[in-house]
Amino acid sequence: MGRRSQSSSSSSTAWRHLSPWYYLKRPARLALLVVGFVAATFASWDRLSLVRDYEAEISRLDEEVNRLYDQLRMAGIYLDDNPNIENIIKKHHLEVDPVNSVRREKVKEAMLHAWNSYVKYAWGQDELQPQSKNGVNTFGGLGATLVDSLDTLYIMGLKEEFKKARDWVAESLEFDKDYEASVFETTIRVVGGLLSAYDLSADKIFLEKARDITDRLLPAWDTSSGIPYNRINLAEGKASNPGWNGGNSILADSGTEQLEFIALSQRTGDQKYQQKVENVIRQFQKIFPSDGLLPININPHSGAVKSYSKITFGAMGDSFYECLLKVWIQGNKTESVKHYRQMWETSMEGLLGLTRKTSSNFYYVCEKNGDSLSEKMDELACFVPGMLALGASGYSPEKAEKIMNLAEELAWTCYNFYQSTPTKLAGENYYFHGGQDMVVGTSWNILRPETIESLMYLWRLTGNKTYQDWGWDIFQAFEKNSRIESGYVGLKDVNTGTKDDMMQSFFLAETLKYLYLLFSPPSFISFDEWVFNTEAHPLKIVTRHGNEGSSGDAEGLLLMPSDLYRHDKGDPP
């Protein structure tokens, strides 16, 4: 056979394997083919399911790794710096609590939902109306939600979101607005938000912007007493008080800017901010009553109080008392801030005098109108348990115990403001007529943070995990009633669950941040190193020098990410 015929015969031999007759003629061949086919199918099916199993396992491990990273971050540990994990775990006594991890992740997811909705429908505007899917400029167009959210994003490790917000601040945030801004709201949200973002990130743009807006607010303090007007036109610098309050300044609006302005002086080296706000406290000292309870209306010209006006730890009084304690903490509890502590302690005696309890042992804080007591308590006053817990350690042990007990009792009442309604969300205020249990008065809920804030302080300062469970209950009620596809809304009525159309900026600044911290270790943004302003913006505690004002840290604080965590003295991270 020639080469050509040999090769054609071998190719026809090969092709016959493709013909069905080749197999049908011989059953043994057919059987072999079927067995081969079945085996191949099984092998590939097995392989596919193996790949699927591996993928599931990889994503489970991924989640686990993220969870562990999160825990390390909570403890201030960055693996790049500290490759020896066993040492890290030992050294930092890491909390390994899977329940807290899951809860924290859920809160972070809620923040992302709120934030993404704001980004989508209200980017750069003050607040989101989630039902209308609109932005509204409730604070004059200062990007209030964005600025209020900066530190929450940072703390939750949402780096891309933080970066995007930071770039907006750098490129688009400007204050030259022909708008009558509230001095108080602008300070606690915008100045506080920017300073906190600066302390956390060490990015100087935040300090520059904080200084710019504060310079625009400063003329408000140019009154004969030094007690500020409460409104100012940001473009013109013209300050005034609203007519509806008879031209008076409001206590909370005038006595809450101290933390932010002192912090600004410390970070810029310019004492003027600190001097303006510390003078206000000196003025208040002159008129301070023996029970430490100042009426909410004050004449900014004479510096005198309207003695018949209301006394309250709720709306228009609240944050003044909080601020006294926190300036003392911000000032390292030194001699130069001793008068803040003294004033605060006096006010706490006044608070004890306003406290009553119902027949079923709910403690509550009354208000006072002139000489008569009003058995009404705002949900806003639910910051009090946290404040008492924070201040307790400055007392003698016996007094501290008494103050802590009261804090815990009041927190129980505030938790029940939530639990007593069909939606499990608290109304705006409650009445306790004649020692009877709480009855909701104004029945809206606008996503306020005060009760959660107090639960966070109490959990940290008592170690009692019940407070975490209470906070989780409240979070779930928000998820159930307030979450909609385009953000979070308040309720017009906590009895019916009817929704409103506003996502308040403090929901992202405070409510969600305090929830996140409630499920995080106490060493994360520790009370030893940070003090929270009344809008939940943490400010770093730095050295305070004397009465004269600034410490002169003019170069800025230059904090590192690991400064978010408490570190043992002499054991730098």
Q: Would you tell me which residues interact with ligand DMJ (CB under 6 A)?
A: 188, 318-319, 380, 448-449, 506, 510, 534-535
- Nearer to ligand DMJ among residue 376 and residue 448 (C-beta): 448
- Nearer to ligand DMJ among residue 318 and residue 563 (C-beta): 318
Cβ atoms of 535 and 188 closer than 8 Å: yes
Which phi and psi (to 5°) does residue 368 adopt?
-135, 130
Q: Which of 253, 270, 278, 318 is catalytic?
A: 318
Q: Which of 322, 450, 453, 493 is catalytic?
A: 450
- Nearer to ligand DMJ among residue 351 and residue 380 (C-beta): 380
- Nearer to ligand DMJ among residue 100 and residue 182 (C-beta): 182
CB of 383 to ligand DMJ, least distance (A): 7
By CB atoms closer than 10 A (0-12, 13-18, 19+), residue 16 is exposed
CB of 219 to ligand DMJ, least distance (A): 23
**One-letter amino acid of 369:** N
Name residue 297's beta-bridge partners. Answer: 250
Q: Which helix (H) or strand (E) holds 180?
A: strand 180-182
Q: Which of 127, 151, 161, 185 is catalytic?
A: 185
User: Is residue 95 annotated as a catalytic residue, yes or no?
Assistant: no
Which phi and psi (to 5°) does residue 101 adopt?
-60, -45
CB of 311 to ligand DMJ, least distance (A): 17
- Nearer to ligand DMJ among residue 88 and residue 388 (C-beta): 388
User: Is residue 428 annotated as a catalytic residue, yes or no?
Assistant: yes
Nearest to 129 by CA among 475, 486, 445, 483: 486
The two structure tokens encoding residue 348: 């706490």
User: Is residue 398 annotated as a catalytic residue, yes or no?
Assistant: no
By CB atoms closer than 10 A (0-12, 13-18, 19+), residue 360 is exposed
Mark out the alpha helices in 123-158 (DSSP H runs).
144-155
CB of 459 to ligand DMJ, least distance (A): 19
CA distance 519 to 101: 7
| Cβ-based neighbours of 110, under 8 Å, separated by 6 or more | 475, 478, 479, 483, 488, 512, 515
CB of 60 to ligand DMJ, least distance (A): 39
Q: Which helix (H) or strand (E) holds 72?
A: helix 27-74
Q: Identify the sign of the CA torsion 316, 406, 476, 101.
A: positive
Q: Which of 428, 453, 500, 535 is catalytic?
A: 428
User: Is residue 174 annotated as a catalytic residue, yes or no?
Assistant: no
534 carries a ligand binding annotation: yes
Q: Give CA angle at 348 (321, 331), nearest 5°.
A: 50
CB of 502 to ligand DMJ, least distance (A): 13
- Nearer to ligand DMJ among residue 100 and residue 249 (C-beta): 249
CA distance 555 to 459: 36
CA distance 427 to 445: 5
Closest-by-Cβ residue to ligand DMJ is 534
- Nearer to ligand DMJ among residue 71 and residue 319 (C-beta): 319
CB of 565 to ligand DMJ, least distance (A): 25
Q: Which residues are annotated as a binding site?
A: 534
Residues with active-site annotation: 185, 318, 428, 450
Q: Which residues are annotated as a binding site for Ca(2+)?
A: 534
